[in-house]
Chains A and B, each alone.
Chain A
Amino acid sequence: MKGLFGRFGTSCNVEFKIADVEKRKTIEVQTDKATQKLYIFTEAEPIRGKILAKVSDGKKIEHQGIKVDFVGQIELFYDRGNHYEFTSLTNELAGPGELGPETTFEFDFSNAEKQYESYNGINVRLRYFLKFTIIRSLATNITKEQDIWVINFQSPPEINNSIKMEVGIEDCLHIEFEYGRSKYHLKDVIIGKIYFLLVRIKIKYMELALIKRESTGSGPNLYNESETLTKYEIMDGAPVRGESIPIRLFLGGFDLTPTYRNVHNKFSVKFYLNLVLVDEEDRRYFKQQEITLWRKNAASGIAVNAMAQPETRKKKKKTSKKSPKTEGAPDEKQSFED
């Protein structure tokens, strides 16, 4: 019995030694338990390495076989325990036998499919991990997992139009806003401009909010979570018609992911710019626009111009039919009703 119990009590110390980690970047990820430091892989990178298994006290473990799996799965928090594996590869490491006091196994997932990026959201997590398993017939399998973090660089979008729109509330507030592009890489800077075509309310300030929206599930189990990543004041005080206000928002300082659309039919992560004008009665006038974020290969250089400015658009203004009004004076009469 002692042996039996002893076997049960035998602990096995498993250590993953992923190859070439010296040069690999890491990321701190907050998981259920604690903050983990994970190695970052990109889509095509092979995952190789060794696993060192130590059985304590010089004992041996009898097993039905030893393997290591590479798993990519999506965990939805509302559906705990029900994980969707979208990829799974196995390396058989040993046939049934005994595991000695110290054994090193090699594994190689050169062709591991990593089409999605790792993601740690509010209601959903997408994770990749290596899972070492000692299969045993009588006892529970001994397992050990090691997460890795996957990012995928994207090539610059071929089409990247500006976002330009005239919006307003009739006879009250007309503005035209313009964001230089609709797609931004994660360290990009959003350059834009807001033209005031008509102002009859007393605006107190204007801000630009960067919002992240995570949608998970479908049907009755659809969950949307919005998170304001930043509120960025871009104007203080009330402009008069004809004013144009510059926008320059650096993205590099925020914790962003690329836009994820319908990842494995399980979740999406989208980003929006919300332009908000607040008047003196604290009414908020806003317009939300989706922007697409993408991950640019850092190696190709991500330096942004700290002085980037929207192109001046004066020419267009001049061709507009409206006679240029007094530049400094306010509109004739200010009606604050909307």
Chain B
Amino acid sequence: VALLATKLSVEYGGSFSEHTGSHTFAMSQQQQQINKTDINTSQQEQEKLLEDAKQVVKVQAFQMKRALDSNKLMEALKHASNLICELRTGLLSPKYYYELYIIVLDHLRYLEMYLGEDKHGKSLGELYELVQYAGNILPRLYLLITVGSVYVKSKKVPAKDVLHDLVEMCRGVQHPTRGLFLRNYLSEMTKDKLPDEGSEYHGAGGTVKDAVEFILSNFIEMNKLWVRLQHQAPQKDKEKREQERKELGLLIGKNLSRLSQLDGIKIEDYKLTVLPKILKQVISCKDKIAQQYLMEITIQVFSDDFHLQTLDQILKTCAQLTPEVEIKSIIVSLIDRLANYVSRSPNEVPGDIHIFDLFYENISTVVKSRSPMPLENVLALQVSLLNLSLKVYPNQHDYVDKVLGFCAEQLNQNQQSSKELSKNAIKEIFRLLRIPQDVYKNVLLVLNLENYAKVTNVLSFLDRRKISLDIVQNAIDNDTKISSGDEVEKLFSFITPLLKDETDQKETVNDTDFEEEQHLVSRLVHLVQNPNVEALYGAYIKAKSQFDLGGKRKKFTLVPLLFSGLRLAQRIHNGRLKDENWEKKIRAILKFANDCITGIKQTPNSSSLVVKLYLECGLVAGKCGIDNFAYEFLTQAYNLYEEDIADSKEKFATINYIVNVLYQVDCFNEEQRDPLVTQTVQYAAKLVKKPDQCRGLFMCTHLLWVEYNDAKPPKKIKDGKRVHDWLTRAMKVAGSVGELEGTSNLALFVEGLDRCLYYYENKNEAVTTDFVNKLIKHVKTKIEEAGSSENNSNVNLHLNNILKHIQWKRQNDARYEAITI
């Protein structure tokens, strides 16, 4: 510090005793006590102060207007000055001050209009000097601005000169609140008088450069005042002050939006002059509220293409902001803006701007330079970046992976310091993981991202499960084809929480959810598709090896896999003419199917399911002509039926199933078939409930009366005699039902009649006309006995239909004439 040449003299207390010299127009000299800065008054007091001030303003305004109306300029100026003097108060909080300010401005507008009308006989240049005699600076500057704006409007002076002068003179007000409002007045009064390109003030009045300089200068000074407002309050009022400041932020931000509205600013100017100056101010003010707000406003008001060209500057600035600034939201808003912009107009991005790299590099720097930045913020930034890269570079999957990699690294660091993930952080992780799914609409592409799993792995079991479900659902929704074992392996490796018990699984999933989840997984099997059977089979094998680890899940997952295998077998069989190894392949698949069943068998309560699966396998094996496999499957089914099916309803249903399968399989020779048929009839005969027995026998009759035209060679099984015997036996059973339970056997008789007519029609000679007639008569008698009631209306209907059928048959078949209705 230079040695002080001279000391200032100091005087304590007191004020000048000398009388004041005369001014060109007198100014009120209520100077001394007014500038107190104690605004810690209650709301009531504030309102009172405001009321008092308003009263003074009202009186002075009235006198000013009266003076103006009688063309007494000097007197009017005196009153104008007096009313502005009310703004010199330091007692009002910004909110109340603003209210007063608005009122004062309203009156000044009247003065402004008068000055513009040229009635006063003074040149505006003279007026511009005249108002500068005001002894107090605040009224002086308000008046100067008022006159100055009229002066510019008159175009008798270059706008730039007045603007420059005004903005410089305003430096005299260093009090934050008063300065801010004064400068806001300056800004408002000059907003339509800037020498912007296309403006009437352009040219002689200056260039857009002057306009920019003016606004920037005002902006910088206002920001400094705004920041200072914070530091002039006692520490205890910090929060209140912050709140007030936030409300005032608008005044400062207006300057930036005004800049953004200048048509004359070209991108080069913006890049080289305007933005650097703004950012320099933002950085140097070192105030969190200002930095936060100004960055957000800057991003908000300037256009997207400007941002594109200056990304580097803005992002580098972010790294230099004070630690309290929440830069996440700043960068996020920038990224989101640009992402939208670029996806709207992709051709606007110049080739030399690599948005992703710029953001990626700068965000990394920011995150590292500002640690510890909350993890959730780091992640949120990356989420935005992810969105950007997906929107702008949809095909650059490596960008997405880069983002995930960065996150994985951050997450690992977090894990190493064994910090819990916050709720918000988890939310962000979910977004990181879900967004690529949603955008790619192909989980396989997502799973190709190397770092995807690394991010997933930091989640807890339940969260991983959620992500797994998303993946599965996504695959299903988008019908994503999985075509190889590798893909199956990869996909399944991402959804292990759904496939097996996990070591960190503390929570149990409730049964409903579990079932839903497993149904979803089972639907995945249908997505495994490939025209190449070997590849497809390989994929099934991979799937099975994963499903095999699933414990109780196998009941859900292996079933669809088994059916897929069976479909594949049929596909091979259909194409057998072109494939000499077809039989080998089908055998392999059938073994695979058998293995699946073995797996399913291990889960509880699976017996009736397994029986059906054996039957299905038998059927397919039969259709493919693999008779020994078909036989084995069926015997397996029979064994299990005998051992494990106890419920009578299930038994009946299973027999139904068995008959169905046996009826369809055409490859058995007699030695194979006979025992199976006999066994089936025995099962039917052993059913506990008589109606079941009866119906079971009815069904079994069909096993003795069947034509296999597709078999090689085609064969017919027409054992009419045994059909007749079994029908008779069934009728007897039906008869025995009736003895105890009244009409309930009527249905059985009618059904029996139906069957008989079937065989009659198919020319089973053992089923004679006589046999049929007897049966009809018997049924009719029984029905008459029972009389008509609601219970047997269906039976009647059935019978009538049968009779109608017979009559219809009579028209072209003479054999039916013999049947008596």
Contact = CB atoms under 8 A, between A and B. Distances in A.
Contacts of B133: 250, 253
A309 B7 CA distance: 27
Contacts of A101: none
B609 to A, nearest CB: 77
B8 interface: yes
B397 interface: no
B9 A306 contact: no
B399 to A, nearest CB: 39
B137 interface: yes
B11 interface: yes
Interface in B290-331: 290
A7 interface: no
A330 B173 CA distance: 16
Interface in B14-30: 14-16, 18-24, 29
A238 interface: yes
Given A226-B18, A328-B228, A283 B12 contact: yes
14 contacts: A168-B4, A174-B1, A204-B35, A228-B16, A234-B172, A236-B138, A248-B132, A253-B24, A255-B22, A286-B10, A309-B164, A322-B1, A327-B220, A328-B281
Contacts of A173: 8
Contacts of A287: 6, 8-9
Contacts of B16: 209, 228, 231
B179 interface: yes
A245 interface: yes
A229 B21 contact: yes
A282 to B, nearest CB: 5
Interface residues of A, number: 60
Nearest to B17: A228
Given A227-B18, A246-B169, A306 B132 contact: yes
Given A166-B2, A283-B12, A306-B129, A237 B285 contact: no
Contacts of A254: 21-22
A169 interface: yes
Interface in A280-338: 280, 282-288, 304, 306-307, 309, 322, 326-330, 338
Interface string B801-819: 0000000000000000000
Contact of B178 (A198, A236, A239, A252): A236
A232 interface: yes
B287 A329 contact: yes
A230 B132 contact: no
B175 A328 contact: no
Residue of B129, B164, B169, B223 most packed against chain A (CB within 10 A): B129
A330 B228 contact: yes
Nearest to B6: A167
B174 A245 contact: yes
B128 A306 contact: yes
Interface of B: 1-2, 4-16, 18-24, 29, 31-32, 35-37, 88, 125, 128-129, 132-133, 135-138, 140, 161-162, 164-165, 168-169, 171-176, 178-179, 220, 223-224, 226-228, 231-232, 281, 284-287, 290
B129 A250 contact: yes
A210 interface: yes
Interface string A170-183: 10011100000000
Interface of A: 165-170, 173-175, 197-198, 204-205, 209-210, 226-240, 243-246, 248, 250, 252-255, 277, 280, 282-288, 304, 306-307, 309, 322, 326-330, 338
Given A165-B5, A286-B9, A328-B287, A230 B228 contact: no
A274 to B, nearest CB: 10
A327 B172 CA distance: 16
Residue of A226, A244, A254, A288 most packed against chain B (CB within 10 A): A254
Given A250-B129, A328-B285, A328-B286, A284 B173 contact: no
B8 A233 contact: no
Contacts of A288: 9
B174 A239 contact: yes
Contacts of B29: 231
Given A248-B169, A328-B228, A338 B4 contact: no
Contact of A286 (B11, B232, B284): B11
Contacts of A326: 284-286
Contacts of A280: 36-37
Given A248-B132, A328-B286, A285 B10 contact: yes
A330 B174 CA distance: 12
Contact of A169 (B7, B19, B31): B7
Contacts of B136: 233
B13 A283 contact: yes
A174 B5 CA distance: 11
Given A253-B23, A255-B22, A283 B135 contact: no
A314 B134 CA distance: 29
Given A231-B20, A240-B228, A329 B286 contact: yes
A236 B140 CA distance: 12
B174 A243 contact: yes
B21 A227 contact: yes
Contact of A328 (B5, B129, B224): B224
A223 to B, nearest CB: 16
Given A167-B4, A237-B178, A330-B232, 4 more contacts: A165-B6, A236-B172, A307-B161, A327-B284
Contacts of B21: 210, 227-230, 254-255
Contacts of A168: 4, 7-8
A166 B223 CA distance: 28
Contacts of A286: 8-11
A231 B135 contact: yes
Contact of B135 (A233, A306, A338): A233
A320 to B, nearest CB: 9
Contacts of B88: 236
Nearest to A193: B171
Residue of A285, A288, A306 most packed against chain B (CB within 10 A): A306
Contacts of A209: 16
A170 B10 CA distance: 12
Contacts of B232: 238, 330
Residue of A165, A170, A245 most packed against chain B (CB within 10 A): A245
A291 to B, nearest CB: 15
A123 to B, nearest CB: 16
Contacts of B286: 326, 328-329
B135 A245 contact: no
Interchain residue pairs A-B with the least CB separation, the first 9: A237-B175, A229-B21, A237-B174, A328-B227, A328-B224, A328-B285, A253-B24, A306-B129, A228-B18
Contacts of B227: 328-329
A169 B12 contact: no
B165 A307 contact: yes
Contacts of A238: 174-175, 232
Nearest to A249: B132
A234 B172 CA distance: 6
Nearest to B281: A327
A236 B174 contact: yes
Contacts of B129: 250, 252, 304, 306
A243 B284 CA distance: 15
A210 B173 CA distance: 21
A309 B132 CA distance: 13
A288 B10 CA distance: 12
A314 to B, nearest CB: 13
Contacts of B231: 329-330
A304 B126 CA distance: 10
Contacts of B12: 282-284
B335 to A, nearest CB: 28
Contacts of A327: 220, 224, 281, 284-285
A182 B620 CA distance: 116
Contacts of B285: 326-329
A102 to B, nearest CB: 44
A173 B169 CA distance: 23
A245 B140 CA distance: 15
A244 B172 CA distance: 8
